[in-house]
Structure 1
Amino acid sequence: MNNLLARHIAEARSALASRRNFNKVFGIGGHKTGTTTLADVFTLCGLKVGNQVEGELTSYSARRGDYSKLIAYVQNADAFQDSPFAESEVFIALDALFPNSRFILTVRDPEDWFRSQMRFTAKRFGLADPSRITKEHIQQDEYIFRGYCEEAHAYAFLMRTPDYKFHSSFDIGEDAIEWENLFDKDTYIRAYLTRNELIRRFFRGRPHQLLEIDMTTAETIENIAEFLGLPESLSKLPMPHANKT
């Protein structure tokens, strides 16, 4: 980190210490909507960002309604993104568990989002052609542990009867998962848009708690910095776009 950037972060941290009027900050946009960039912006705003892998490890129990590990994790930092915050309806629990928090819904053009999902997943499996991704690739993914990614992916996009309660193939059998729709564009975009609209409806009437932003088009961190109460002098840094796909 260069001296200029380090000085900026120190100034932002000092400004937040005197002006901060919120509890925690949660990035709740879906995967591939600029969540890695958002973590960098949180740092530029002087916030302590939760370790992403530690957060992912809380996902398994959070999907089953056990938030004890997630609560302990959130208590140790200021700002969070990626799993489990990018998943399902966990934002509802966070709103209740951490009152007066701020939520940022990162979005992007649905078609671009879907293409990014496919490219990212294909890259994970060393595939040049995203159309070659199979059910077996998802099921054999050993990130965190085998079954972790399968369950997260199926819950987000492929449950046969969505009912806002988690069921995995380990709970009720593989016939509950519509593997025939794996990376079907209409299915995935519908799930993506439905979740975004659920978030908007949940926070309707509370504009001070929810910011919606397209990270792919934002040129500076201004909107986020202002949302968090930073002075204008600290809000003009360029958006640090990261992990593009």
Structure 2
Amino acid sequence: MKQNKNKAAIKNKIFCLSMQRTGTTSVGTFFKEHGYAVADWPVSRDNLWSWKWENGNFEGIFNSKDFKRNGVFEDDPWWLPEFYKVLYHRFPKAKFVLLERDPDAWFKSMV
């Protein structure tokens, strides 16, 4: 697969603001297949992004190498409460993807 060398793809971030089990992996796969660098759950986990979000260390997220090198972000911590507001103000040219799923079907998929 050829990596997208378009700097706009890296500068103008794309955030999937949806909870797990709503199609976030499919969104990530779509972007990977179209040449975008995608930060998925393992990247988030390895960088402790949810922990940093919990502690209000947003700059620790934004200054990480993985955040800087990726253009698309799925799963945690992007959907966490009120974080979209921080992202919107910090990255005004970013795009946001919101996937919804029937709450009962979502719950059944989690158990």
Q: TM-score, normalised by structure 2?
A: 0.80
Aligned length: 106
Query: For residue 75 of structure 1, what is the amino acid of its counterpart?
Result: K
* Structure 2: segments with no counterpart, 5+ residues: none
Q: Equivalent residue for 2:71?
A: 78
**Greater RCO between the two (CA within 8 Å, min separation 6)?**
2
Deviations 1:22-48 (A, max 9, x none): 710001111210111111011122211
One of 63, 81, 103 as aligned partner of 1:110: 103
Q: Equivalent residue for 1:38?
A: 27
One of 24, 49, 52 as aligned partner of 2:13: 24
Deviations 1:170-214 (A, max 9, x none): xxxxxxxxxxxxxxxxxxxxxxxxxxxxxxxxxxxxxxxxxxxxx
* Structure 1: segments with no counterpart, 5+ residues: 1-5, 119-245
Q: Is 1:55–1:70's contact at 8 Å kept on the other side of the alignment?
A: no
> CA–CA distance in 2 between the matches of 1:23 and 1:13?
13
> CA–CA distance in 2 between the matches of 1:49 and 1:29?
15
Task: Give the alignment of 1:86-235 within 5 angstroms.
Answer: 86-118=79-111
What SS does the corresponding residue of 2:38 show, helix, strand or coil?
coil
> CA–CA distance in 1 between the matches of 2:110 and 2:73?
21
Runs (4+) of structure 1 exceeding 2 A deviation are: 17-20, 51-54
| Overall identity of the aligned pairs, in % | 26
Matched, 1:49 2:38: yes
Deviations 1:90-141 (A, max 9, x none): 11111111220000001112211111122xxxxxxxxxxxxxxxxxxxxxxx
> CA–CA distance in 2 between the matches of 1:116 and 1:13?
34
> CA–CA distance in 2 between the matches of 1:13 and 1:61?
29
Structure 1 residues 65 and 18: CA distance shift in structure 2, 3 A = closer
> CA–CA distance in 2 between the matches of 1:115 and 1:98?
35
Structure 1 residues 33 and 75: CA distance shift in structure 2, 3 A = same
Q: TM-score, normalised by structure 1?
A: 0.39
What SS does the corresponding residue of 2:27 show, helix, strand or coil?
helix
> CA–CA distance in 1 between the matches of 2:40 and 2:60?
14
> CA–CA distance in 2 between the matches of 1:19 and 1:110?
35
